[in-house]
Amino acid sequence: MLNSDDVLDTQGSVRRANLRRALQLVFRGRGVQTRAGIARATGLTAATASSLVAELIDSGLVVEGAQAASTGGKRATTLSVDAAHHLILVMVIRPTDARLALLALDSSEIDVRTIAYSAESRDRKLDEAVQAIAADYGERLLVAAAQLPGTTDGRKVLESVQLGWSDVPLADRLEAALGVPVLLVNDVDAEAIAEAVGEVQSPGYRLFVHIGVGIGAAVTIDGQLAPGPRDRAGEIGHVQVEFGEQARLCRCGRRGCLESASSMTAMLGEDFTDAMDEGEVTVLARAVDDVIIAEGARALARTVKLASALLDPAEVVVGGPVRALGERFLDLVREEADYLATGTTSVPVRYARGGTNPSIGAGQLALSSALGVQWSAEQLSGTGADGS
């Protein structure tokens, strides 16, 4: 594939790098890219650009579209992403259900299947669903990604308390059934990637904090995950941020953790679950004392302030069920974090945009891994993936 660089094969790897650049230009081109445009943007000759495009068309990655507006002389043919050929499978695995979506290369979903299970039937039902997809789409599958709660090194589920999995070689199992490369991604990491997709205007670090029953975070740089050598970047939920009398008992057994103050359970009580919809969360939030919400905001603000001083991120994005608390909560966080510690600058804090397509984060990761390219913000809005 385009990413299989062989360091000894210099000519081959230069060619693959150029194929990736050309393909990325088509992905960003909103259907109006041309061979001449690729030559201009890359500095390659017209002949080389044409040869790259020919290979991309043969590979089922690019299609020719209508004729571009004439700039004098022969009309150029436009190029678009080929949405009719290769497919990306994205599996969102949760404790009691899973969503399996097949995405075309332009990020549109062409088939979505949901399955429900218990802890006992989960493995069997997932296997059946994956086998059905392999039977229906096997020839067209390019790559797959499975998104799940818990830590993963991309190949194994290291630990998932919610799924009751520990050291499970899930990628191997899925690859055997699907016959294509499979990668695993933590659900918060996938959310963070989804928020950073298409953000070419503001590169740099982006800090993403998911707040639900638990708190997880992820750091992206230029839209790519920065997971750390032990795959633990973003595990901030049980870092102590409250001390003395303010430190409440946490579900991990220690006191004063970020989760003990700022998780949705800490703020809204034990009735809160991650399965609640926004309306249900709003009802629950109305009954809560403002002081509790303010304490949660303060603990989060301390964490955000320290992480921002360290990373100088373009922005801090807060996602997950906490969005139902509305601007009231975010304003409190901003107020608490809004003091000018010497040498720092104030970093914008916003809620995640979310989006109607829950497959985008893991799908983008799979796309980068298979083809080395990124969707553009325009592509995602064109397929209804961006809910803003």
Q: How many CB atoms lie within 10 A of CB 154?
A: 16
Q: Please state whether beta strands 215-221 and 205-211 pair in parallel, antiparallel, or not at all (unpaired).
A: antiparallel
Cβ 265 to Zn ion shortest distance, Å: 12
Nearest-approach distance from CB 28 to Zn ion, in angstroms: 43
φ and ψ at residue 93, rounded to 5 degrees: -100, 120
Compare residues 46 and 252 and give the one whose CB is closer to Zn ion: 252
> 46 or 249: whose CB is closer to Zn ion?
249
Which CB, 21 or 251, lies closer to Zn ion?
251
**Is the Cβ of residue 132 or residue 252 nearer to Zn ion in the bound state?**
252
The correct pick among 252, 283, 310, 341 for binding Zn ion (CB under 5 A) is 252
Kindly tell me which of 155 and 238 has the beta carbon lying closer to Zn ion. 238
Contact 107, 385 (CB under 8 A): yes
Q: Are 375 and 357 in contact (CB under 8 A)?
A: no
Q: Which is nearer to Zn ion, 85 or 255 (CB)?
A: 255
| Cβ(143)–Cβ(181) below 8 Å | yes
Supply the minimum distance, in Å, between the C-beta of residue 210 and Zn ion.
16
257 lies in the binding site for Zn ion (CB under 5 A): yes
CB of 101 to Zn ion, least distance (A): 34
Is residue 84 part of the contact set for Zn ion (CB under 5 A)? no
How is residue 161 written in tokens?
A: 């308390």
Q: How far is the CB of 40 from Zn ion (least distance, A)?
A: 55
23-62 binders of Zn ion (CB under 5 A):
none
Task: Give CA separation, 305 vs 105, 111, 223, 331, in Å.
Answer: 38, 42, 21, 14
Q: Residue 237 Cβ, how far from Zn ion at the closest point, in Å?
A: 7
Residues 182-241 that bind Zn ion (CB under 5 A): 238
Cα–chain center distance at 74: 42
Cβ closest to Zn ion, residue 43 vs residue 244:
244
Cβ–Cβ < 8 Å for 154, 171: yes
Residue 363 to residues 5, 19, 95, 102, 266, Cα–Cα distance (Å): 22, 20, 20, 9, 32
- d(Cα 97, Cα 100) in Å, to the nearest integer? 10
Instruction: Give residues 345-374 in contact with Zn ion (rule: CB under 5 A).
Output: none
Q: Which of these segments, 41-49, 182-190, 255-263, 353-361, binds Zn ion (CB under 5 A)? A: 255-263
CB of 260: closest distance to Zn ion in angstroms? 6
Q: Which of residues 232-251 bind Zn ion (CB under 5 A)?
A: 238, 250
* Rounded least distance, CB 324 to Zn ion, Å: 23
The torsion region of residue 74 among left (phi > 0), alpha (psi -120 to 50) and beta comes to beta
Q: Among residues 119 and 252, whose Cβ is nearest to Zn ion?
A: 252
Q: Where are the alpha helices (DSSP H) in 257-376?
A: 258-262, 264-268, 278-286, 290-311, 326-337, 360-371
Closest distance of CB 322 from Zn ion, Å:
17
Helices 10-28 and 46-58 pack at an angle, to 10 degrees, of 80
Distance CA 267, CA 333 (A): 14
| Least CB distance to Zn ion at residue 259 (A) | 5
In the complex with Zn ion, the residue whose CB is nearer, 192 or 257, is 257
Give 246's contacts (C-beta < 8 A, 6+ positions apart): 256, 295
299 binds Zn ion (CB under 5 A): no
Q: Which C-beta is closer to Zn ion: that of 21 or that of 238?
A: 238
User: What distance in Å separates the CA atoms of residue 194 and residue 14, rounded to the nearest whole number?
Assistant: 29
Number of residues this chain uses to bind Zn ion (CB under 5 A): 5
Task: Give contact residues for Zn ion (rule: CB under 5 A).
Answer: 238, 250, 252, 254, 257
